[in-house]
């Protein structure tokens, strides 16, 4: 058996600027951090066919030949991964520690885990950057789901990263926060799951079409997101919680200017409750429109957690993951 695990992430600033055509034309910047909620993928060789299993989704597909690798909405990422890295007969099994549609980059972590495990089975020695690039290729090109590249790079590399995007080029700068800052940041971070995400590929296409058409509000919001991301790295390195919180909220305000559907009623309720409880700032995890939000809260973390639960949110416990995809 070959087994790997890839971490999910919190995107502190700059999400959406890694998505073409903005990233290609103007260059994007994203600051994110891997967290120890993970996607696992394992492959056990043997048998005559390939059995695909997604434990968290309760889905199973048997692949007897190329005709069974048609993308039809059932484990399409798994099927596409088999087309890119055919392993021979066996069982490919995956599981995710986060609920679907969380906005925590779980599909990007799945991409990376699938590439890493199948490349290992085939004896291919890929660098972490190559795993990330192939993971994005799997989702965006092979399956045709539009999106940026930050999730795959967070899952492959781990740690805190400042990622710069321009065309096919991605530059990753690791942000080396000291141990005291990491501990303090974790103590003040609360991740809340609000429910099933309503974001779709149509939303991404709609936003980027507006940018392509020169919509002034969307263009201005994307450029401001890039500026906020450039400021987030230094704030994290300095451990300036007030500044980090303010940048999170500024980033969230820009996200909402991209599309009116970004902020659901559940998110508005949660955000308002935690603001009254003294949060320093917060934003949607990922693109928005449901899923998870995360906040920097004051010293009374227990009270903030109780407040979030009181308005129906599920609090997800997760620390930082300084390592990316790896055997487990």
**For the residues of 38-72, what is the DSSP string, one character each?**
EEEEEEEE-SSSEEEEETTTTEEEEE-SGGGG--S
Strands 59-63, 189-195: pairing is unpaired
Answer positive or negative: Cα dihedral of 16, 148, 6, 264: positive
Q: What is the pLDDT of residues 287-325, one digit of tens each?
A: 777 789 999 999 999 999 999 999 999 999 999 999 999
Q: What is the pLDDT of residues 100-151, one digit of tens each?
A: 778 899 999 999 999 999 999 999 999 999 999 999 999 999 999 888 899 9
pTM: 0.94
Domains, the chain, in order of start with CATH, read: 2-176 (3.30.230.10), 179-316 (3.30.70.890)
Query: In which residue are the tokens 């980090």 written?
Result: 244
**For the residues of 76-142, what is the DSSP string, one character each?**
HHHHHHHHHS---SEEEEEEESS-TT-SSSHHHHHHHHHHHHHHHHTT----HHHHHHHHHIIIIII
Distance from CA of residue 206 to its chain's centroid? 20
Give the whole-number percent of the chain exceeding pLDDT 90. 85
Rounded CA separation 110/77 (Å):
8
Rounded CA separation 178/254 (Å):
30
pLDDT of residue 198: 65
Q: Give the residue among 15, 98, 9, 97 at the shortest CA–CA distance from 288.
A: 15
pLDDT of residue 287: 76
Q: How many C-beta atoms lie closer than 10 Å to residue 278's C-beta?
A: 13
Contact 44, 1 (CB under 8 A): yes
**Token pair of 124, please?**
């291919």
pLDDT of residue 151: 96
């Amino acid at each position: 058996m070959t087994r790997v695990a890839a971490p999910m992430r919190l995107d502190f600033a700059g999400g959406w600027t890694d998505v073409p055509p903005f990233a290609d034309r103007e260059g994007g910047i994203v600051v994110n951090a891997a967290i120890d909620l993970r996607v696992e993928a394992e492959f056990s060789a043997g048998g005559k066919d390939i059995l695909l299993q997604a434990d968290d989704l309760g889905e199973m597909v048997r692949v007897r030949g190329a005709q069974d690798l048609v993308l039809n909405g059932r484990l399409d990422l798994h099927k596409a991964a088999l087309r890119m890295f055919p392993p021979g007969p066996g069982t490919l099994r995956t599981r995710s520690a986060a609920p679907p549609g969380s906005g925590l980059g779980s599909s990007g972590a799945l991409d990376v885990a699938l590439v890493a495990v199948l490349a290992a089975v085939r004896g291919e020695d890929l660098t972490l950057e190559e795993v990330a690039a192939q993971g994005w290729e799997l989702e965006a090109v092979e399956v045709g789901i539009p999106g940026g590249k930050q999730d795959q790079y967070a899952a492959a590399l781990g740690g805190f990263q400042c990622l710069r995007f321009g065309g096919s080029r991605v530059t990753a700068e690791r942000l080396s926060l000291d141990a005291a800052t990491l501990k303090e940041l974790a103590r003040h971070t609360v991740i809340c799951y609000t429910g099933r995400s309503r974001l779709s590929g149509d939303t991404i296409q709609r936003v980027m079409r507006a940018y392509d058409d020169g919509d002034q509000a969307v263009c201005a919001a994307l450029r401001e997101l890039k500026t906020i991301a450039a400021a987030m790295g230094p704030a994290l390195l300095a451990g300036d919680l007030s500044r980090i919180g303010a940048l999170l909220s500024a980033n969230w305000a820009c996200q909402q200017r991209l599309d009116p559907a970004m902020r659901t009623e559940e998110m508005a309720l949660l955000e308002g409750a935690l603001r009254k409880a003294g949060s320093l700032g917060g934003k949607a995890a990922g693109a928005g429109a449901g899923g998870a939000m995360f906040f920097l809260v004051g010293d009374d973390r227990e009270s903030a957690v109780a407040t979030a639960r009181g308005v129906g949110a599920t609090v997800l416990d997760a620390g930082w993951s300084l390592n990316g995809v790896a055997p487990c």
